[in-house]
Structure 1
Amino acid sequence: MLGALTLTAGCTTINEHRGYIVDETLLQAVHPGIDNRQSVEATLGRPSFTSMFGAPTWYYVSSLSAQKPFGDAKFKQHTVLAVSFDDAGNVITADRSGLDAIVRIDPEGDETPTLGRERSFLQDLFGNIGQVGAGAPGAGGGQ
């Protein structure tokens, strides 16, 4: 009985929340043309991150994922609120996106393609035999 409970507990799904904790009432309280940076920060707090280029934009990111043992995490909820400001610090737009904006990137194969020579394991292992202790060409003997 104890063994069955232990196995069942090891197979449970792990739910994990990352980022901003979403409060719908607060998210809907940000209005373009009315709010400014100070009022947005007072209402929502500090953003998850800010834009580095272009119009000043604050991003509030929230994700809830679920992961089964030995499996990939799957997003159950995802919300991004992007609040853009003009030069005076007034809110221009407050756009929301959700799960539809998530893109899963699958790398091509298990290797990163690189430029240069293709060497086998044995060439890597034994390639420097005879090279050890040989000085660089043109290097003085040190007298």
Structure 2
Amino acid sequence: MNFDFSAPEYHELALWEDNATLRFECADSYIALLEKLTALLGRQPVLPDWVYDGVTLGIQGGTDVCQQKLDTMRNAGVKVNGIWAQDLVRHPHDLFWQTRDVELEVEQRQLSSAGYPYQAVARRRRAVPLLHQSLCRQR
């Protein structure tokens, strides 16, 4: 599909599929239109309470970089509620073993005793959720 809205007096829609469905909606406000869109496509679920109690760090660069940045934040008195780490260095067929390595390494660094939620997601060409959302929740 190609939608071209560049001409002020007309719009062009090019469809290259035998069977396509288009849905046009209108509303009195952008909020009402967004409500229609999210009713069709789905809505973001309510975030868990721990998200609002501190800052979630988004870090890349490996375990040592993550640990250094976590230590820096802790030493500055910042309350960290979680770490979002997007690091994948192995091939997809090694993914299961890597996630176990991540579990062990996180446990060895005692993040579980600090109660930080940890989620691992691996991406190659598409997002593939892999690991327990609450791997290191306080026990």
Give the TM-score taking structure 1 as reference length. 0.23
Look at both structures and tell me which one has the larger radius of gyration over its CA atoms: 1
Whose strand fraction is larger, Structure 1's or Structure 2's? 1
Give the TM-score taking structure 2 as reference length. 0.23
Higher relative contact order (CA 8 A, sep 6+): 1
Whose helix fraction is larger, Structure 1's or Structure 2's? 2
